[in-house]
A and B are shown apart, each in its own frame.
Chain A
Amino acid sequence: MVRIFGFLVGVGFVAVAAWSLLWGAIAFLGEEHVTTVEHRFHKEPRSLALASDGPFGKYDDRQLQRGFQVYKEVCSSCHSLGYVAFRNLEDLGYEEAEVKAIADQWTTQVPSVDPKTGEAATRKAIPADKFPSPYPNEVAARAGNNNALPPDLSLITKAREGGAAYVYSLLTGYQNPPASLPAESRPGKGLHFNPYFANLNIAMPPPLTADGQVSYADGTAATRDQMAKDVAAFLTWTAEPRLENRHGAGLAVLVFLIIATVLAYMAYQNIWHGSPRRVRETGPLDPGNMAKRDAASREAGIEGN
């Protein structure tokens, strides 16, 4: 009964799927295969090697400080960093007093309430505050950026395929649109061609325009390439501040587990030692022995197997 009904149900689904397949195949084979414009012109991110790559990776604090400087001087006017607190900057090697100064002098202030009048006001940031957003809300952000919303950068390297490599490629990838780009895909007003961006035309104008845009405190030459690398590394840190803890703990845990598993295996073999997997050929199931055993069973009045 079950099988008959099941058979009919099965035939039903197979038939309907086949019907979809048929029409799908006709459509697929019939129409000409058009690759989208994005498919033709989009580029995969260029590779970027960072100190934090790999299972033993550690952050390069000097690079992170440079990247923070780029964020501060170039990106923070439009992009918030709302999940990072000023106090987290101590991870980059800044002293407590330096962090306090950075917070105190941050261009955007933190929203607060005027204690006397109760009106909305702002106050200077303290290290416990998160980085304040340059815009009070999304509407203001769009108004100031041609109706485009500059995304928060705290998690950007985890929120994009390609991670830090994508950010680096994007920042250094601005170029003139190739001649073969179809007219309807050319950047309109307020858009800029960038092949590393999924839709090819991005609303953000090229942020790194010239070498030496930022003068690094440690004296490194601030080429556009260098600045892009440094800010990509910095943004990797903002997305994964606990990366070093994670790698360190991971190594310890794995070493422990490997030793524990080896011991467990030895204990397992130990306990099973002798419980037969193989036995000598003249064993219990030689017909002679089987016969004896059956005879003994019968004698004892015990039912057979």
Chain B
Amino acid sequence: MRRRPLHHAPHGPPPLEIEGRNARAKCLLAKRRPRGYQARQAANRGAGRADARTALFALGAASGLLSPAFSGRGELCIRFEPLKDVMATVGHSDATSAAAPNDGLDRRDFINIAAVSFAGVGAAATLYPLINQMNPSADVLALASIEVDIAAIEPGQAIKTIFRKQPLFVRHLTPQEIAAANAVPVGELRDPQTLAERTKEGKQQWLITMGVCTHLGCVPLGASEGENRGQFGGYFCPCHGSHYDTAARVRKGPAPKNLEVPDYVFKSDTVVTVGEVA
């Protein structure tokens, strides 16, 4: 048997070899000693250039005419030599057949790709509950809409209540307040809206707004008896001096928008459901 060039010393004694289907990939395709799986991967990557040659070598290996060897650089090459005198190796048994036709490569890789894809889908699906749990829980959503009983509110009075954990002002406007609101030229307003746009049809006397100043979020005064209602007779925010008028529209001060009107629906003349879209 011809003496074969050996590995670099640091790599240890020459690997033993196994004959037959455990052939090796071409040295051109392999960077180092290729192992079966990586050999196929390498083969796939070099597929464009190396197809014909791979096939030939594969054929040669399968027929027992070619055998593996190491080049001087320590890489594996195919050599033309009868295999039967070659000692068996274990190390390169991991190099499963480049001897199989390309079909075999694709079929085998398909399984791997399928397995990894399935796992990936599973991982993505697992992510869903982990992220969704941060969404509002059922008890919070239950309070997403509340019913307010407005029967006891006299004209000129307002109540403060809690809606989605924030203050809500429900005011029963007097006819004077309605007139004052309608008298303002809409074009002059920083946030142009008419009173009619901010109330329900036929219920213009009911002004329902959030009690949160649109500047930086303080609770404006004016909803309770005796509180300062500002220069325009509506609400006044003491934090930075925003004034709201009888329709809760901003008239002076740093607030950019009118007090927010939430979705609400009149269930009857005395009951309003706030938080429900009409």
* A–B: direct contact at CB < 8 Å: yes
**Contact call B114/A302, Cβ cutoff below 8 A:** no
Contact among A126, A259, A301 for B9, CB-based, below 8 A: A301
**Contact call B118/A263, Cβ cutoff below 8 A:** yes
**Contact call B115/A263, Cβ cutoff below 8 A:** yes
Least CB distance, A5 to chain B, in whole angstroms: 43
- Residues 114 to 149 of chain B near chain A (Cβ within 8 Å): 114-116, 118-119, 122, 125, 138-139, 142-143, 147
**Contact call B6/A300, Cβ cutoff below 8 A:** yes
- Residues 247 to 266 of chain A near chain B (Cβ within 8 Å): 256-257, 259-260, 263-264, 266
**Interface membership of A37, Cβ < 8 A:** no
**Contact call A276/B112, Cβ cutoff below 8 A:** no
Residues of chain A lying within 8 A (CB to CB) of residue B95? 274
**Interface membership of B13, Cβ < 8 A:** yes
**Contact call B93/A279, Cβ cutoff below 8 A:** yes
**Contact call A284/B89, Cβ cutoff below 8 A:** yes
Contact among B36, B90, B115 for A266, CB-based, below 8 A: B115
**Contact call B111/A85, Cβ cutoff below 8 A:** no
Residues of chain B lying within 8 A (CB to CB) of residue A264? 115, 118-119
Q: Provide the bound-state CA to CA distance between A304 and B16, in Å.
A: 14
Residues of chain A lying within 8 A (CB to CB) of residue B112? 267, 270-271
Q: Provide the bound-state CA to CA distance between A18 and B122, in Å.
A: 54
Least CB distance, B275 to chain A, in whole angstroms: 11
Q: How large is the interface on A (under 10, 10 to 19, 20 to 34, 35 or more residues)?
A: 20 to 34
Q: Using a Cβ–Cβ cut-off of 8 Å, how many residues does chain B contribute to the interface with A?
A: 36
**Known contacts A263-B114, A289-B88; A273 and B13 CB within 8 A of each other:** no
Nearest CB in chain B to that of A304: its residue = B13
Q: Provide the bound-state CA to CA distance between A305 and B115, in Å.
A: 39
**Contact call B22/A274, Cβ cutoff below 8 A:** yes
**Contact call A126/B139, Cβ cutoff below 8 A:** no
Contact among A85, A259, A279, A305 for B88, CB-based, below 8 A: A279
Least CB distance, B16 to chain A, in whole angstroms: 4
**Interface membership of A87, Cβ < 8 A:** yes
Least CB distance, A304 to chain B, in whole angstroms: 8
**Contact call A274/B97, Cβ cutoff below 8 A:** yes
Interface with B: A38-46, A105-113, A205-213, A290-298, which one? A290-298
**Interface membership of A117, Cβ < 8 A:** no
Least CB distance, B270 to chain A, in whole angstroms: 15
Residues of chain B lying within 8 A (CB to CB) of residue A260? 115, 118-119, 122
Chain B window 5-40, contacts with chain A (Cβ cutoff 8 Å), 1 for yes, 0 for no: 010010011101010011000000000000011000
**Interface membership of B218, Cβ < 8 A:** no
Q: Provide the bound-state CA to CA distance between A293 and B4, in Å.
A: 12
Nearest CB in chain B to that of A115: its residue = B159
**Contact call B147/A126, Cβ cutoff below 8 A:** yes
**Interface membership of B240, Cβ < 8 A:** no
Residues of chain A lying within 8 A (CB to CB) of residue B96? 273-275
**Contact call A267/B111, Cβ cutoff below 8 A:** yes
Residues of chain B lying within 8 A (CB to CB) of residue A293? 13-14, 16, 87
Q: Provide the bound-state CA to CA distance between A247 and B6, in Å.
A: 62
**Contact call A256/B93, Cβ cutoff below 8 A:** no
Give 8 nearest A-B pairs by CB, closest first.
Answer: A274-B96, A267-B115, A263-B115, A128-B142, A284-B16, A297-B13, A284-B88, A260-B118
Can you list 10 A-B pairs, Cβ within 8 angstroms, ordered by A? A87-B138, A128-B143, A256-B118, A270-B112, A274-B95, A275-B36, A275-B93, A276-B18, A276-B90, A297-B14
Interface residues of B (CB under 8 A from A): 3, 6, 9, 12-14, 16, 18, 21-22, 36-37, 87-90, 93-97, 108, 111-112, 114-116, 118-119, 122, 125, 138-139, 142-143, 147
Known A274-B36, A279-B88, A289-B88; further 18 A-B contacts with Cβ < 8 A = A85-B139, A85-B142, A87-B138, A128-B143, A263-B114, A264-B118, A264-B119, A271-B112, A274-B95, A275-B36, A279-B93, A280-B88, A283-B88, A284-B16, A289-B87, A293-B13, A300-B14, A302-B9
